[in-house]
Amino acid sequence: MTVCPPTTVAHAGLELQKSAAAGVGVRRASLAERVSCGVLASGALALLATAALLDPSPTGTGTHTQLGLPSCTWLAMAGVPCPTCGMTTAFAYAAAGDYQQAFLAQPAGLVFVLATSMAVWIAGHIALFGSTVGRAMTRIFGSRVLWIGLGILLAGWFYKMATHSG
């Protein structure tokens, strides 16, 4: 195992400090990026906080009516759940820490609540510290995230249709 002498480590740290002070090296997120990430983190946190205030419906759908929203039109008119049926219920179960029930209510909802939780932390980190991790994630994932999200939504919808008993 090779160990660097303390002088080398200290010297490397000093060089890093000098380059950061000179504006060379790590670029921070712009003010616009930080503000938009702050808005995103706040919105995601508000969504999770709202879910925590709801009582999940034991039927797996209908929790959203506690927010003053109407019942699912697809379910009422066609007897078939819509692509987002069970999402609010899944969020409410997950906010209560019951991930198994969240999955049973809507598997895509569980994935999306976990993604929303990650968004709070990542976007909050960018907003507070100016991290450029968001740029790196955009380069790595790009528009694939939308396609993956759509695939997860469709898979959750197929699950919901297969398990619907009404």
Place of tokens 């808005």: 39
Give the pTM: 0.80
Q: Does the structure show a pLDDT above 90 at 4?
A: no
Mean of pLDDT values over 123-152 = 89
Would you say 40 and 123 are in contact if contact means Cβ atoms under 8 Å apart? yes
Q: At a CB cut-off of 8 Å and minimum separation 6, what does 157 contact?
A: 81, 82, 83, 85, 108
pLDDT at 35: 95
Tell me what pLDDT residue 147 has: 94
Residues 76-128 pLDDT 10s:
999 999 999 999 999 999 999 999 999 999 999 999 999 999 999 999 999 99
Q: Tell me, what's the pLDDT at 24?
A: 54
Instruction: Quote the CA–CA distance of 111 and 90 in Å, as a whole number.
Output: 9
pLDDT (0 to 100) of residue 166 = 67
